[in-house]
């Protein structure tokens, strides 16, 4: 099943039938026009290419504008994304997919770019416990010794060390769709999703 491209609006809460507060992320999903349909015969695999948003002509290349015109759109999209499809699904150029492809209770995977947090130590980046905190320990947040002694006398590759944290492609799986607002193209997904406000997300069942 093809998914949707969306933009993260923020978080809020909704109340279920029993009055329990459910934390949700609000996503503006679609409408997403179909810009290209790829098939086994022409491309070797089956997929549908969707677009989201609009890019001014002066900010788009001629190739991007021509690709959009071929699909019947006046402007190039801001984001393009391919979604794999099964053999039974059919799509046409210019067809628009909206939040109606999802229903309350559906389980979805959300892909986004996590918040960049810069260079961080092991306590924040990997959840290390740190060293003793009593009596003013001089190095309470260092990782400690981790290299073997005589052989091979070095730190093995792949150890958890300080470094750049966040800013990477992240997938959160099996999130539940709590509410679908077809009038405003809004999708309410239970829990948090990666990314900052107004960042782009890719949602699929």
Mean of the pLDDT values across residues 122-131? 93
Q: Are 50 and 2 in contact (CB under 8 A)?
A: yes
Mean pLDDT of the chain: 91
The percent of residues above 90 in pLDDT, for the chain, comes to: 61
Question: Does position 112 have pLDDT exceeding 90, yes or no?
Answer: yes
- The predicted-structure confidence for 145-167, as pLDDT tens digits, reads as follows 888 888 888 998 999 999 999 99
DSSP strands (E only) in 18-129: 21-29, 32-38, 47-52, 79-84, 96-97, 107-113, 118-120
CATH T-level assignment (fold) for domain 4-120+170-204: Elongation Factor Tu (Ef-tu); domain 3 (2.40.30)
**Length of the chain in terms of residues written:** 205
The torsion angles phi and psi of 152, rounded to 5 degrees, stand at: -95, 15
Q: Where in the chain is the domain with CATH 2.40.30.10?
A: 4-120+170-204
pTM for the whole structure:
0.84
Question: Does position 88 have pLDDT exceeding 80, yes or no?
Answer: no
Output the DSSP codes for 108-125.
EEEEEEPPP-EEE-HHHH
Which one-letter DSSP state was computed for residue 103? -
Q: Looking up tokens 């607002």, which residue turns up?
A: 181
* Confidence tier at 1 by pLDDT (50, 70, 90): low
């Amino acid at each position: 099943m093809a998914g949707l491209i969306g933009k993260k609006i923020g978080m809020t809460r909704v109340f279920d039938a029993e009055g329990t507060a459910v934390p949700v992320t609000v996503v503006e999903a679609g409408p997403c026009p179909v810009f290209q349909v790829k098939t086994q015969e022409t491309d070797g695999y089956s997929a549908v290419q969707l677009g989201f948003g609009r890019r001014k002509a002066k900010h788009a290349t001629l190739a991007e504008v021509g690709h959009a015109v071929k699909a019947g759109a006046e402007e190039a999209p801001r984001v393009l994304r391919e979604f794999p499809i099964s053999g039974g699904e059919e799509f046409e150029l210019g067809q628009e997919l909206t939040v109606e492809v999802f229903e309350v209770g559906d389980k979805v995977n959300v892909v986004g770019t996590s918040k960049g947090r810069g260079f961080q130590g092991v306590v924040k980046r990997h959840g290390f416990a740190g060293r003793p905190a009593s009596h003013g320990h001089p190095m309470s947040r260092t990782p400690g010794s981790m290299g073997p002694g005589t052989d091979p006398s070095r730190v093995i590759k792949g150890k958890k060390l300080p470094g750049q944290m966040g800013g990477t492609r992240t997938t959160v799986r099996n999130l539940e769709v709590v509410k679908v607002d077809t009038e405003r193209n809004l999708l309410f997904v239970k829990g948090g999703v990666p990314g900052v406000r107004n960042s782009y997300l890719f949602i699929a069942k």
